[in-house]
Structure 1
Amino acid sequence: MNLDFSQIVPYIPFILKGIGATLKFVSISIIIGFVLGTLLALCKITKVPFLKGFAVFYTSVFRGTPLILQLMIIYFAVPQLTGYDISAFLSAVLTFGLNSAAYISEIIRGGIQAVDRGQTEAAEALGVPYKPMMLNIILPQAFKNILPAMMNEFITLTKESALVSTIGYLDLMRRAQIVGSDIYRNFEPLILAGLIYWVMVYILTVAGSLVERRLRQSD
C-alpha cells in the first residue's frame, strides 16, 4: 500500500481549522431549526386549518427532497432570482436550518403529544390560558422527553455538514479536499477528516448521554 501520512503533517493546522468552521454553521443552523421547528410543531397541533396545513406542507417539502438539492437551490437560485450574491456560509446556515426545522417540528410534536393529556385538562380546568400553559407546563415536559432525539438530530447535521463542501465553504471536508489536490494524494487527508468527524460525533454522543442521565436523575 502506497501510504504516506507524513506529507499531510504540515497541513494538519489548516485542516483542523475546519472543525470550527463546521461547528459554527451547524450550531447556528440547529438554533434556527429549533426555533422554527417549535413554531411549526405548535402549528401542527393547532385547530387553525391554514397554519396546520402550512406546517404539514413545509415538512413534506423539506423531508421529501434531498438536502443537497435544497443547498444548491438556495446557493444558486437566490442570486438568480434576487440579484443578491449569497455567501456559502449563509447558504449553508439557511439550508440546514430550514431543513432541520422540518425534522425538529416532528420531534417536538411527538414530544408534546406524549405529555399526559391530564396535564392539559387540568390546566384548562384551572383557567390557564393556552400560551402560558404551553410555555410553562407542556413544552418543558416535552423538551425533557425529546432530548435524545434532538441530540441525534445535532449529530446528523454534523455528519451531513460535509455537503457544504460542494459550494466551496471551507469546512472540514473542503479543507481535506484542498490538501488532497495540493499534494496529489486524497486518501490520507480524507482519512484524517473522517477521523475528526468520528471524534466530534463521539463527543456529542457522550455529552448527550450525560445530559440525558442527569435529567433522569432529577426526576
Structure 2
Amino acid sequence: MDVLDTSISIPKGDEASEQGEKVSKKVCACLKIFMKTYKGSLLQFFDQLLSRMEHMWVKDKTVKERKIALKIFADVVEEFREEALKFCESELLLLFKACNDDEPEVQEVAAHGIGVAAAFGGSIFKPLVGEAVSALNANISDSMALHRDYIMAHDAAVTALEQIYLFHKDRINASEQVFSTWLSHLPIKNNLLEVKIAHDLLCSIVEISEDELLR
C-alpha cells in the first residue's frame, strides 16, 4: 500500500512519473499473487485498496495509471467474487462509464473488468445487468469500434457481452437482443486474451443453449 501511494503521488509530467507507473504495474502483479496466496485475510485491507483504485482511475491520471487501477479491480473481483462486489456498486458504475472512455486502452481494460464482474459477481451483479449491457452495446456499436486503435476494446466488449449472456440470461430483457448482438460480432480475431475466453464461453453456450444457438 505504501509503495502504491508513493508511486501514484508523483506529479504527472515529472521525470520520475514514468518510473512510478512501472512501479504501480509491479505492485498490481504483487497484489494478484497476494490475493491468490492469502485470500480472505486480505479482505481487511479491501477498503484501503478501493480508495487507491478510485484515486488512480480519475480523469487527470495517465492512461497507464487508470489501466492499472481497473486491472486491480478486476483481479480483486475475480479472487473475492461476490464478497468484493458487496462494497463496489459505485465502482461498477464507474467501470461502465470507462467502457466508453476516450482512450481505447482504458475501454479495453474496463470491458474486460465488466466481463469478470459478470462471471464472478453472482447475485450482486444481477441488478446492474441492464446498465452493463447498455455500456457494452455503446462500445460495440460505436463508429470507430472496428478501427485498428479500438479493435482490442471491441473484442473485450464482445466477450463481456457473452459472459453476461451465459451467467445472467435470466436478467436480460428480450428487447436488448444480447444473444443476436453477441453472435453477429463473432468471430473475434485480434485480442488473443479475449479470443481464448470467447471460444471457451462459446463451447459452454453450445452445451446449454444448443437449440437456440443452432436456430
Structure with greater proportional helix content: 1
TM-score, with normalisation over the residues of structure 1?
0.27
Please say which structure displays the higher CA radius of gyration: 1
TM-score, with normalisation over the residues of structure 2?
0.27
